Structure 1
Amino acid sequence: MRKICVVTGSRAEYGLLYWLLKEIQEDADLVLQLVVTGMHLSPEFGLTYQQIEKDGFPIDAKVEMLLSSDTPAGITKSMGVGLIGFADVFERLRPDIVVVLGDRYEIMVAAQAAMVARIPIAHLHGGESTEGAIDEAIRHSITKMSHLHFTATETYRQRVIQLGEHPDRVFHVGAIGLDHIRKLPLLNREQFEKSISFELGERCFLVTYHPLTLSSVSSVEYMQQLLDALDQFPDAHLIFTKPNSDPDGRNMARMIDEYVAANRERAVAFVSLGQVRYLSALQHVDVVVGNSSSGIIEAPMFKKPTVNIGSRQQGRVKGPSIIDCGESSEEIVNAIKKGLSPAFQDVLANCESLYGQGNTAPAIKHILKTARLDGILIKSFYETDMCTYSKEAEQ
């Protein structure tokens, strides 16, 4: 039986992979190997590996790598620790293929170890562009190390091909996170409020703001601009989900905690809501605010406005429900007001998802199961018309 090893390092990424894990686990011809790392193993980020086990997925290996530092030096050292750990894990598990998703540094480390171990790599969500974050370089690097590619839009498929990957190995399957929206029974408003012990009020914002890893300005300064903007909506209730472990993430989480402590009547914060509660939140809030990809990919399925702050998601395919704005409090306030306006609500009524309609996991599982792996490690650079023209011009 083909052994498929799936790597996950964060709560958000695991949520996206959930239905693919189920598909592999329930296929009698496949063996699921699950490796957890990064924030899953950190008490500070909620020890979310425990939720994975509760969901019925046995964990085959845990790769400890997250040091108690989110400085560039600390993260680089974490990557070094992780690379050693993945080397040992892949030597022991000997999978037939390794599946990774996205663009975080712990995922790049897993891909590096698999590449050196000569294990084929399947990469989900390649070809995307996030110009304001180091994720951009990590994502494209993983693409060049990978052998099968599953993209969320045709635009992203063409970009992966532009990077030199053969079209026969690049599959436009849609965004896998949308499978949750189709398959999970979400909570109604009353159930959701009870689950988080918080009332949504007449108006509620869902706020997720991550560090800008390529900015010359501290993300702490930008976080303060966001909090100042939220002060301009004193009647709005706020649900914060905390930032990830990138540089400044801990300081930003501390600022959120202090803000919630000063606004207990209208604000609450979570390290992780989990998939059911997070998607239920998208269903019931009035505006999604921040710089998370979920505001661009999942929120449009619920016809909710997304105020997308700054450059972190610059380059992504965006639908009409996305309102881009700068980092200043004034720009954020104006964008939120636009999202709440009756005119924009009319726009939302006709929004369609640009990332598919779900049912992506079965398509990915089928390809993982049937793809020929013999000879797959040898990759030739696929020349696009542009590359061919450039070479002729040189001659």
Structure 2
Amino acid sequence: MKKIAIVTATRAEYGLLSPLIRRVSEDKETELDLIITGTHLSKKHGYTIEEILRDGFSDFHTIPILENGNTPYDISVTVANATKGFAQCFRDDRPDMAVILGDRTEMLGVAVAAMNERIPIAHIHGGEVTEGAVDDCVRHALTKMSYLHFTATEAYRNRVIQLGENSNRVFAVGSLGTDNILSIKLLGENSLRRAVGIPEGIPYAVMTFHPVTLEGDAYRNQVHELCQAMKESRLFYLITMTNADTGGDYINQVITDYAAKHDNAILAGSLGAVKYLSALKYASFVLGNSSSGILEAPVLGTPTVNIGDRQKGRLMADTVINCNAEKESIMRSIDKAKKMPHIATRMYGDGSASEKILSIQKRFLFAEKIDLKKGFFDIVNSAEDTIKNFYK
């Protein structure tokens, strides 16, 4: 029996990881070590550990790490708290492998603790590019600290290899978000509307907007431009809360005020995977700058109005409309999205990512010898080799 630790710190991350968590927990050769941290344990962010409990997972570790705020200082201290908390956890209850996903800054602390305990790390969603956010360098840093890599596309796999990771440990498995969409039984439209409070018989959109962490305080003006576009677009909006990045508190306050003062919007703290994906399915379009508009909405055929540079660099389906974070640009894109046909696109896998990930993990844990002395994997046809060959 091999123990696999899976770490989740946000509601969105848990939504992606849930098919893998369930698969590990049901496998007869692996023991699930579920570790819950970050905003899951914060009342301000909806105390989403309750969603995990409702899903039937009750045997887990909890590690509080969040500082009370989201300034750059607070986020740095959160990373330090994660390093200390996970160091103690991994020292006292050592797993055979630790799984982390994506690009959250707190995962740096998790990875450092696992690396120092010589625990091999499996990283999901590496090789991607989001040029507008600090997440980009965090993601690549996590790649270099990890041993196994599970990417969403072949192009992302090639990027991880370009970072010096051995191609024999990098696997293009697709996105876990596609697994969720194709495996979860979604609500009917009327049931969904009643469950979240969307009036019947009117079109609606799902809006999520996060701060763009490499643009200073630009989020302040951007969220007001977005609210003006929602006000003038004459459509109903289901608004979800933002994350715990720098500027998140300000955005949450603005969208909370908007929902309270306007009858064309409601605010949802945390919907959970079933209601959120159901909301995406029946929406006229998705609005904002969340990765779910790039990874998940296209699988359901729902168009996306992607605002600004936060997701710049990701591979995008034809149903994604990019625009500037300005009212007029947003409104023009909304008009396009409302007229766009809903055509499902599966550019991020076939829904078997969790099965592939666990199978590969088990192969390395049971059959392969894990050697943490990775070395640097040089691409054969490097630029240097090309120059040398040119002058021969």
Judge same fold: TM > 0.5, yes or no.
yes
Cα distance 1:392–1:89, how it changes in 2: closer, same or farther (>3 A)?
farther
> What amino acid sits opposite 1:386 in the alignment?
S
Structure 2 matches for 1:199-218, cutoff 5 A? 199=199, 201-218=201-218
Kept after mapping to 1: 8 A contact 2:99/2:123:
yes
The match for 1:62 is: 62
Kept after mapping to 1: 8 A contact 2:197/2:266:
no
Q: How many residues align?
A: 388
How far off is 1:391 after superposition? 8.5
Structure 2 matches for 1:20-31, cutoff 5 A? 20-31=20-31
The match for 1:146 is: 146
Q: Determine helix, strand or coil for the equivalent of 1:177.
A: helix
Unaligned stretches of 5+ residues in structure 2: none
How far off is 1:327 after superposition? 0.8
> What amino acid sits opposite 1:315 in the alignment?
G
The match for 1:257 is: 256
Q: Determine helix, strand or coil for the equivalent of 1:51.
A: helix
Kept after mapping to 2: 8 A contact 1:19/1:179:
yes
Instruction: Give distance in 1, aligned partners of 2:143 and 2:106.
Output: 15
Cα distance 1:324–1:200, how it changes in 2: closer, same or farther (>3 A)?
farther
Task: Select the residue among 372, 379, 389 that pairs with 2:374.
Answer: 379
Question: 210-219 or 168-177, which moves further after superposition?
Answer: 210-219
Q: Determine helix, strand or coil for the equivalent of 2:328.
A: helix
How far off is 1:293 after superposition? 0.7
How far off is 1:147 after superposition? 0.4
The match for 2:44 is: 44
Matched, 1:361 2:357: no
Question: 41-50 or 146-155, which moves further after superposition?
Answer: 41-50
Identity among equivalent positions (%) equals 40
Instruction: Give distance in 1, aligned partners of 2:221 and 2:12.
Output: 25
Matched, 1:288 2:286: yes
Kept after mapping to 2: 8 A contact 1:148/1:170:
yes
Cα distance 1:380–1:255, how it changes in 2: closer, same or farther (>3 A)?
same
Kept after mapping to 2: 8 A contact 1:104/1:135:
yes
Kept after mapping to 2: 8 A contact 1:209/1:243:
yes
The match for 1:189 is: 189
> What amino acid sits opposite 1:166 in the alignment?
N
Kept after mapping to 2: 8 A contact 1:201/1:237:
no
Structure 2 matches for 1:1-395, cutoff 5 A? 1-199=1-199, 201-234=201-234, 236-263=235-262, 265-341=263-339, 344-345=340-341, 348-349=342-343, 351-371=344-364, 372=367, 374-384=369-379, 385-386=381-382, 389=385, 392=388
Cα distance 1:307–1:200, how it changes in 2: closer, same or farther (>3 A)?
farther
Cα distance 1:377–1:387, how it changes in 2: closer, same or farther (>3 A)?
farther
Instruction: Give distance in 1, aligned partners of 2:264 and 2:189.
Output: 17
How far off is 1:392 after superposition? 4.7
Instruction: Give distance in 1, aligned partners of 2:202 and 2:368.
Output: 55
How far off is 1:53 after superposition? 2.0
TM-score, normalised by the number of residues in structure 1: 0.95
Cα distance 1:111–1:303, how it changes in 2: closer, same or farther (>3 A)?
same
Unaligned stretches of 5+ residues in structure 1: none
Could you list the per-position Cα deviations for residues 21-71 of structure 1 after superposition, in whole angstroms to 9, with x for gaps in the alignment? 111111111111011111001000111112212212234321111111110
Q: Determine helix, strand or coil for the equivalent of 2:171.
A: strand
Q: Determine helix, strand or coil for the equivalent of 1:356.
A: coil
Instruction: Give distance in 2, aligned partners of 1:94 and 1:365.
Output: 19
Q: Determine helix, strand or coil for the equivalent of 1:244.
A: coil
Q: Determine helix, strand or coil for the equivalent of 1:231.
A: helix
How far off is 1:388 after superposition? 5.1
Could you list the per-position Cα deviations for residues 158-211 of structure 1 after superposition, in whole angstroms to 9, with x for gaps in the alignment? 000000001110000000111111111111111001111331542211000001
> What amino acid sits opposite 1:336 in the alignment?
I
How far off is 1:104 after superposition? 0.2
Kept after mapping to 1: 8 A contact 2:96/2:119:
yes
TM-score, normalised by the number of residues in structure 2: 0.96
Q: Determine helix, strand or coil for the equivalent of 1:144.
A: helix
Kept after mapping to 1: 8 A contact 2:205/2:285:
yes
